[in-house]
Amino acid sequence: VFVYTSFISKLCKDSDMQKASTIFNEMTASGILPDSFAYTTMIDGYCKVRKISKALQYLGRMLKDGMEPSVATYTTLINSNCRIGDMEVAQRLLEKMIGKGLLPDIVAYNTIINGYKNKGDLQKAYELLDMMKSFGVSPDIVTYNTIIHGLVMKGYVAEANDMLDELIRRGFSPDVVTFSTIIGGYSNKGQFAEAFLMWCQMSDCNVRPDVITCSALISGFCRAHRIDEARALFQKMQGFGLNPDLILYNTLIHGFCRSGYMEEAYHLITLMIEDGIVPD
């Protein structure tokens, strides 16, 4: 079950549910009984490719095998509903698991907080934050990152910055996601001085930028038609050993087109192909 499930898990992450289900069937055919992990992997895989009926089919098989959904199984289902924006169902699932005597863990809470955040309902996100604390579950850096992103999405980047200070005061270590989120927020608003300060604070914390950090900044530069700076950072990051990916190329190509640099945009396509990245 161990090796099968790890293999299936990788296939699910590649959204290759065709192959994943083949392997799953192969496993059961060889007499190996799927456990809770195996089922949850399949359920999550199908949820992520929006084949909910397939996912429920596996959930049904799991129940028929006499297994109770685990906290992770519930979290998968909650997340699936969060993605389609159905927070009523997500909330009901959370209550249902509690009713069954399962205690939602940090991941479960983070998932539903993220769901409310994506709906723009920071009020509810904060309520869930209180709820988790009252159940004795402490927020972690993911929780903070989620709320910081919620603030950024609403344009409250200064408040997001305050939240960063607060989390540090409480003894948490901001990570590359924290900084990328805030840098992206400033960058999108054209507040590049603030974005730069954040970049410096990130270095002070010994957190290294990654491709996403750079993309967030480059995206802002492009939006503001500051193509020289976009280009400069694009060069510089490769000096750091960071390799541009598909999204970054798309960002730059779009930015160059928008600012009228059509030849250069076109040139990027050949460049990305040389990098082994297939344009989408």
Partner RNA sequence: AAGAGUUGGUAUCACG
Give the footprint of RNA on this chain (CB under 7 A). 1-2, 5-6, 8-9, 13, 34-38, 40-41, 44, 70-76, 79, 104-108, 110-111, 114, 141-142, 145-146, 149, 176-177, 180-181, 184, 188, 210-213, 215-216, 219, 245, 247-248, 250-251, 254
Nearer to RNA among residue 1 and residue 162 (C-beta): 1
Q: Residue 125 and residue 173: Cα distance in Å, rounded?
A: 21
Q: What's the chain's length in residues? A: 280
Paired tokens of 119: 């709906």
Least distance from RNA to the Cβ atom of residue 141, Å: 7
Q: Residue 19 and residue 12: Cα distance in Å, rounded?
A: 9
Least distance from RNA to the Cβ atom of residue 11, Å: 10
Nearest to 96 by CA among 126, 117, 75: 75
The separation between the first and the last C-alpha atoms of the chain, rounded to the nearest angstrom, is 36
Q: How many helices and strands, by DSSP H and E, does the chain display?
A: 16, 0
Least distance from RNA to the Cβ atom of residue 175, Å: 7
Nearer to RNA among residue 197 and residue 233 (C-beta): 233
Nearer to RNA among residue 91 and residue 110 (C-beta): 110
Nearer to RNA among residue 48 and residue 197 (C-beta): 48
Least distance from RNA to the Cβ atom of residue 210, Å: 5
Is the distance from CB of 73 to CB of 61 less than 8 angstroms?
no
